[in-house]
Amino acid sequence: MNARETLKINSLGHLSIGGADATELAKQFGTPLYVMDEQYIRDMCAAYAAAIRTDYDGNGLVLYASKAFSCMAIYKIVQQEGVGVDVVSGGELYTALRAGFPAEKICLHGNNKQPGELALAVENGVGLIAVDSYSELDALDALCAKQGKKQDILLRVNPGVEAHTHRFIQTAKTDSKFGFSVADGTAEKITAYALTKRNVRLQGYHCHIGSQIFEKQSFALAAQKMLAFMAQMRAKLGFTAAALNLGGGYGIWYTDEDAKLAVPDYTEYLRTVIAAVKEHADALSYPRPYLYIEPGRSIVGEAGVTLYTVGAIKDIPGVKKYVAVDGGMFDNPRYALYQAKYTALLANRAAEPASERVTVAGKCCESGDIICADVDLPPVKEGDILAVLSTGAYNYSMASNYNRNAVPPVVLVKDGQAEYIVKPQSYEDIVRNDVIPARLQ
Ligand SMILES: *Cc1c(COP(=O)(O)O)cnc(C)c1O
C-alpha cells in the first residue's frame, strides 16, 4: 500500500480524510489543524510487520521511528499493531513510557545522549540502546554496574552509503556526526572496546543511511556492506552479531514528482532490505541476524493533512501571488529548513480544476515563512480551507511557538469520527513557564 487512499472527494465536492469531511473538521476544531488518519497508520504498521513475518520468518521487529510524530496516542496505536518504537530523547522516551509502551520494545538512539536520558532508559529497562560514542559506552557501562543491570546495545555504524532522495553515493569515509565509520577502522575499534565492557551486551549493529530515499538499491547496498563488516568482525574478533538494525528512510509521496520515483508499495523497500540481508548472510555463511527496521516518515507521513483558513491574498503583478494562511513555520518549518515541496488543495472546492499558481505563506514575521511555494490551485478566496497533504511526519514533531503562536492541535480520524490526540494550546499554556523575577516587579 501507499496512501492517497485516505483522501477522497465527497458528494459535496469537499475533501474527506479517513471518512471525515475536512471542512466540517475545520468548523468543529478550528484551524490550523493537524488531522491524522488512524487506519492509515495501522495499515502501514501491519504491512511492515507482515513483510517480516512472511519474508523473514518473523525473525525481526519493526520499530516505528517516533521522532516523525510523537504524542502519547501514537505509541498506543503502534503498540496495538505489534510494532516497537525508536526514541531519540528523554522526552520521547518519557512520552512512550507514560503511554504505557512496553520498555523492552523501545530502542534509544541519539548521538549525544545525556546522563539523565541514559538513566531513564536503563531504570525503565528499555530493550536496546544504540551507542554512538566512547564516552557514552563508558557512562552506560558504569551506570549498569551501579544498577546491577546488563543492557543490550547496538553500535551505530556508518557503512559509507550516503543516500539522497534521487541518488546515492558510496563514500570511502563519510562526514557525519552519526556513527563509527567502517572504512577508517573506527567501527572495528569500538567493537573490540565494547566487547571488553562487562555490563553491556553487544547484540550487533545499527545504521541509518538517510531519509526520503527512493532508491531501493541504496538500502540493499547498506545491507551488503553491514554484513561484509559483520563477517570481518567475526573473522578478526570472533564476534558474531545476533542483531542488525538497518534504519528507516523510505521515501514517500509529497508531490507528483515523487510519485514517479517512489515504489508503488512501500513494503517493497523492506522486501528489498530483507532479500539483501538473506542473500549476503547466506553467501558469507553468516547466521541470519535478528532484523530491526525503523520506518518513521512512511508510517505517518501520508496519514496526515494540515488544514488552514485562507486570509490575506496579495497579488504582485508579474511576480507572484501570495496566499496567506493562519499557520506557518511554527506548524511546518520544513520549507524554511530545506525548501520541502508539498501538494495543496482547497478542501471546500476539492473537485475544481487548478487554474492559478500561488505561493502559500504563513503568518510569521519572516520572509522565509512559506508553507509551499508554487502550487496550483483553483481561484483562491479569503475564507477557503486549504489542505496541505502528507504532513503527518516531521510537522507536528518540529512545531514551535515561534512568534508565540500556539502549536495547533492534532485530531485523529477513524471511520469519519475525529477526536483530539493533542489538545489546543491556550495563551495561558504559552506563558506557563514564564517567570517574572521579583526584582522586575
Ligand atoms: C530518523 C531516523 C529514522 C526514521 O527515518 P524516516 O526517514 O522517517 O523513515 C530511523 N532511524 C534513525 C536512527 C533515525 O534517525
What is the predicted pLDDT for the residue at 161?
Answer: 86
Most distant CA atoms of the chain, gap in Å: 74
| Cβ neighbours of residue 181 closer than 8 Å, sequence gap 6 or more | 157, 158, 160, 173, 174, 187
Which among 74, 85, 86 is the best mutation to test ligand 1's pocket, defined by most ligand atoms within 8 Å of the CB?
86
Separation of CA 283 and ligand 1 centre (Å): 28
Q: Which atom of ligand 1 is nearest to the CA of 212?
A: 7
What is the predicted pLDDT for the residue at 263?
Answer: 83
Q: Which atom of ligand 1 is nearest to the CA of 297?
A: 8
| Cβ neighbours of residue 263 closer than 8 Å, sequence gap 6 or more | 2, 214, 216, 269
Q: Are 62 and 345 in contact (CB under 8 A)?
A: no
Residue nearest to atom 10 of ligand 1 (CA): 248
Which among 69, 106, 211, 292 is the best mutation to test ligand 1's pocket, defined by most ligand atoms within 8 Å of the CB?
211
Separation of CA 208 and ligand 1 centre (Å): 7
Separation of CA 109 and ligand 1 centre (Å): 10
How large is the average pLDDT for residues 239-267? 92
Q: How far is CA 240 from the centre of its chain?
A: 30
In this structure, are strands 106-108 and 84-87 parallel, antiparallel, or unpaired?
A: parallel
Separation of CA 219 and ligand 1 centre (Å): 13
CB under 6 Å to ligand 1: residues?
65, 67-68, 86, 109, 208, 211, 247-250, 294-298
Which tens digit of pLDDT belongs to each residue from 149-195? 999 999 999 998 877 665 566 554 567 788 899 999 999 999 999 99
CA 131/CA 111 separation, integer angstroms: 8
| Per-chain mean pLDDT for the chain | 95
Which tens digit of pLDDT belongs to each residue from 107-165? 999 999 999 999 999 999 999 999 999 999 999 999 999 999 999 999 999 998 877 66
| Cβ neighbours of residue 235 closer than 8 Å, sequence gap 6 or more | none
How large is the average pLDDT for residues 32-57? 97
Phi, psi of 385 (to 5 degrees): -100, 115
Helix (H) or strand (E) holding 130, with range, is strand 128-131
Q: Which atom of ligand 1 is nearest to the CA of 88?
A: 15
Phi, psi of 158 (to 5 degrees): -110, 105
pTM of the model: 0.96
Helix (H) or strand (E) holding 79, with range, is helix 72-80
Say whether 365 is catalytic.
yes
Q: Which atom of ligand 1 is nearest to the CA of 67?
A: 1
Separation of CA 46 and ligand 1 centre (Å): 18
CA distances from 425 to 387, 400, 428 (A): 21, 11, 8
Residue nearest to atom 3 of ligand 1 (CA): 248
What value does the CA radius of gyration of the chain take, rounded to a whole number of Å?
23
Residue nearest to atom 11 of ligand 1 (CA): 247
Separation of CA 212 and ligand 1 centre (Å): 9
Q: Are 294 and 63 in contact (CB under 8 A)?
A: yes
Q: Residue 247's closest CA among 225, 262, 228?
A: 225
Which tens digit of pLDDT belongs to each residue from 347-374? 999 999 999 999 999 999 998 999 999 9
